[in-house]
Chains A and B, each alone.
Chain A
Amino acid sequence: MTASPSFYAASSLPAALDALAECGAEGAPLAGGTWIMRAPIRHEPLKPIYVGLGGVPELTRIEETDGALAIGAGVTHSALGEAIAGRPELRVLAEAAGRSANPAIRRAATLGGNLCTADFAAADLVPALLCLDAEVEIAARGGTERLPLAAFLDLRQSLEPGRLLTRVLVPRSAAFSAHARLPLRKAGDYPTAIVSLSITRDAAGRIAQARIAVGSVETVARRWTRLEAALAGAPLDAEAAHHMATELADEFVGRDGVEAPGWYRVSVLPVLVRRAVIALH
């Protein structure tokens, strides 16, 4: 029988980083707790020590900096959704934050938690931020570093103890964006598939650049670069995008889950692409 986990409520970022460094592999950060608190249901052991981040003011800030929007990792889904409402280039993120899970969970679950939970394939914010070319900032006692979100997703499970995702940086752009997710019920589910889309247009109204990310279909969300390439230079046309997506969807190998088989997740990608394009208008 293991002792109950202990809990340290950090009151500042340096204090949190110190605590995480001292705990080493024994410790883990805890923000909203919505995933960690479900460990018993997954039959997973808790860590011996949790460092609570709720009292770290640096982590809940949202600020405009050098060409980017910097979002603290402790910002909740609901706070994020409210803060960026009405900005077309960030609509994908607002939708992702505002529709995931349910209202009570959105008030607790944080941006950082969503990005750091490697086992959570259906995370909404991940594809949304991928299509926004977001970078993440990782802090440790020794200093901070920045890396692209995609790179972070690759190494998040092997991140050394003591390192903490502190901010997400979303570059400013003149794009339009949309988030298409497909839960099995109207709402309240994890989506079986997600298409996040961010598009810039040229003077003629054609697609200058498309950034598309696919979530929940495979175990980790990723960019759909072949579709991005196919759409570049094309007119902004939902049916054409649907057609191209149909042609290219076979590059995905859907994950089988209790809620949906893998083939289904791939089958619905083209319609989600169409819905995302329509939602741009």
Chain B
Amino acid sequence: MPIDMIVNGEAKQSAADPMTPLVDVLRDEFHLTGAKPVCREGFCGACTVLVDGEPRAACLTPAGLAQGREIGTVEGLSAGGRLNPVQASLVEHDAVQCGMCFPGMVVTLTHFLAQTPRPSRDQVRAALTGNACRCTGYERIVAAALDVAGA
């Protein structure tokens, strides 16, 4: 049975088996390769997407659970190629290196800053508990998030 979902505002239908990880449906069927399958166990956060507006690990979300839901990926956060404030701040802070963690970072931080517009440094760090980065040592990411909040 096909699985219906709204992806970045568009109705989509997946033919995948319902226990297929959502990240694979997004990447292989819908060609949205922003979300990265890095750990496939919910520890790294590189595949974070929004499910009904809430960040989730797409590797641990069975496609069947996406039925009828709204899915938002990093591609949907920069409509028309315009960077959102989090993305723009990360550019400004020269935070990006290899870049593989950033799609998940951006989804997590965009949601977090909408919920917590004036976070403390420790709150930002705690919000990133599930988003690992191997290149940057985090500080510029944290600083970029705090800058968005301060703007």
Contact = CB atoms under 8 A, between A and B. Distances in A.
B130 A102 contact: yes
Nearest to A188: B129
Given A34-B42, A41-B40, A102-B43, A108 B18 contact: no
B65 A54 contact: yes
Interface stretch (A3-11, A245-253, A265-273): A3-11
Task: Name the interface size band of chain A.
Answer: 20 to 34
A105 B65 CA distance: 15
Interface in A82-103: 101-103
Contact of A37 (B54, B59, B129, B131): B59
B45 A102 contact: yes
Interface in B54-104: 54-57, 59-62, 64-65, 67
A234 interface: no
B19 A104 contact: no
Interface in A23-71: 30, 32-34, 37-38, 40-41, 46, 50, 52, 54
Contacts of A34: 42, 57, 60
Given A103-B129, A105-B42, A9 B56 contact: no
A38 B41 CA distance: 6
Contacts of A187: 126, 129
Q: Is the interface of A mostly helix, strand, loop or mixed?
A: loop
B18 A7 contact: yes
A46 B19 contact: yes
A41 B112 CA distance: 29
A40 B20 CA distance: 11
Nearest to B63: A7
B141 to A, nearest CB: 15
User: Which of A33, A50, A54 is the most central at the interface, judged by chain B CB atoms within 10 Å of its CB?
Assistant: A33
A148 B43 CA distance: 32
A4 B18 CA distance: 9
A107 interface: yes
A104 B42 contact: yes
A92 B41 CA distance: 26
User: Which of A6, A7, A30 is the most central at the interface, judged by chain B CB atoms within 10 Å of its CB?
Assistant: A7
Interface in B100-151: 108, 112, 126-127, 129-131
A188 B64 CA distance: 27
Contacts of B131: 102
Contacts of A108: 56-57, 60-61
Nearest to A32: B60
B54 A33 contact: no
User: Which of A41, A103, A104 is the most central at the interface, judged by chain B CB atoms within 10 Å of its CB?
Assistant: A104
Interface of A: 4-7, 9, 30, 32-34, 37-38, 40-41, 46, 50, 52, 54, 101-105, 107-108, 187-188
Given A34-B57, A38-B40, A41-B41, 9 more contacts: A7-B19, A9-B67, A33-B65, A50-B64, A102-B43, A102-B130, A105-B130, A187-B126, A188-B129
7 contacts: A5-B18, A9-B64, A34-B42, A37-B60, A38-B60, A103-B127, A104-B130
